[in-house]
Amino acid sequence: MAEAWQPHDDGINFHTRKWVRPEDLNANGSLFGGSLLKWIDEEAAIYAIVQLGNYRVVTKLISEINFEASALQGDLIEMGLTATHFGRTSLTMRAVVRNMITRKRILTIEKIVFISLDEDGHPTPHGYSSITYNRDRMPHEHPDTGTIRLRLPSA
Ligand SMILES: CC(C)(COP(=O)(O)OP(=O)(O)OC[C@H]1O[C@@H](n2cnc3c(N)ncnc32)[C@H](O)[C@@H]1OP(=O)(O)O)[C@@H](O)C(=O)NCCC(=O)NCCS
């Protein structure tokens, strides 16, 4: 049975909320797992950028996912992440998603690993070992364009 909702989930802050729309449903009429994973991957990427101070971060590993409960059209869900391990070039996070309407936990992912890359796409040390709750590590804008310029994959 799905675990009951608790206001504080192992110190995780729930930053992002989503409204389950018709395009997010599977053939069963409930939330499509692929939509949820896309949202979590994006959330984890943004979290990793903020924590590691580098826009060039990529998903390396997502551990086993146990879908404990679901959501229906119109439900509101919230996603939370916290860093559990700062490696040399990696960041490991734990994710929890829960349904704000039914107050059930939808899933937990114990390990999401992102890697910090250099301009050539190789792992690069990020130099951090603890969580920041500020925006003090945000990468700076590109001085010429005012925007962030990412390396394009070679053809
Ligand atoms: C990310 C990538 C550059 C890492 O290359 P790699 O040769 O495995 O790198 P390394 O062996 O030097 O390891 C780099 C880090 O990854 C970690 N790592 C490697 N394999 C891992 C695994 N299976 N699980 C968890 N962490 C892993 C290492 O522990 C290391 O972390 P640390 O520096 O904090 O100790 C490469 O695997 C890659 O390009 N993968 C595709 C990423 C991608 O495109 N993701 C989007 C999904 S399509």
Q: Does ligand 1 have an atom closer than 6 angstroms to the CB of 101? A: no
Ligand 1 lined by 115 (C-beta under 6 Å): yes
- What pLDDT was estimated at residue 34? 96
Is residue 8 in some structural domain?
Answer: no
128 in contact with ligand 1, CB cutoff 6 A: no
Please check whether residue 89 lies inside any domain of the structure: yes
Probe target for ligand 1 pocket from 60, 85, 88, with the most ligand atoms within 8 Å of CB: 60
Cα(9)–Cα(6) distance, integer angstroms: 6
Ligand 1 centroid–CA 90 distance in Å is 8
Q: Is 89 in the pocket of ligand 1 (CB under 6 A)?
A: yes
- Residue 51 beta carbon below 6 angstroms from any ligand 1 atom: no
**Size (the chain), residues:** 155
pTM > 0.75: yes
85: in domain: yes
Label residue 31 by pLDDT band (50, 70, 90).
very high
Query: Residue 38: which CATH number?
Result: 3.10.129.10
Which residue bears the tokens 């990020």? Answer: 126
Confirm whether 148 is domain-assigned.
no
Is 96 near ligand 1, meaning CB less than 6 Å away? Answer: no
Q: What is the pLDDT of residue 69?
A: 96
Residue 131 falls inside a structural domain? no
Domain interval for residue 22: 13-116
59 pocket-lining for ligand 1 (C-beta < 6 Å) = yes
- Nearest CA residue ID for atom 41, ligand 1: 60
Residue ID of nearest Cα to ligand 1 atom 22: 61
Residue 77 included in any domain: yes
Residue 149 lies in a domain: no
**Per the domain annotation, does 155 fall within a domain?**
no
In this structure, what token pair is assigned to residue 58?
A: 């990529």
Task: Please state the domain count of the chain.
Answer: 1
List, as one string, the DSSP characters of the chain: -PPBP-SSBTTBEEEEEEE--GGGB-TTSBB-HHHHHHHHHHHHHHHHHHHHT-S-EEEEEE--EEE----BTT-EEEEEEEEEEE-SSEEEEEEEEEETTT-BEEEEEEEEEEEEB-TTS-B------S--SSSTTPPPPPTTTSS--PPPPP-
79-118 pLDDT, tens digit each: 999 999 999 999 999 999 999 999 999 999 999 999 999 9
| 37-78 residue pLDDT tens | 999 999 999 999 999 999 999 999 999 998 999 999 999 999
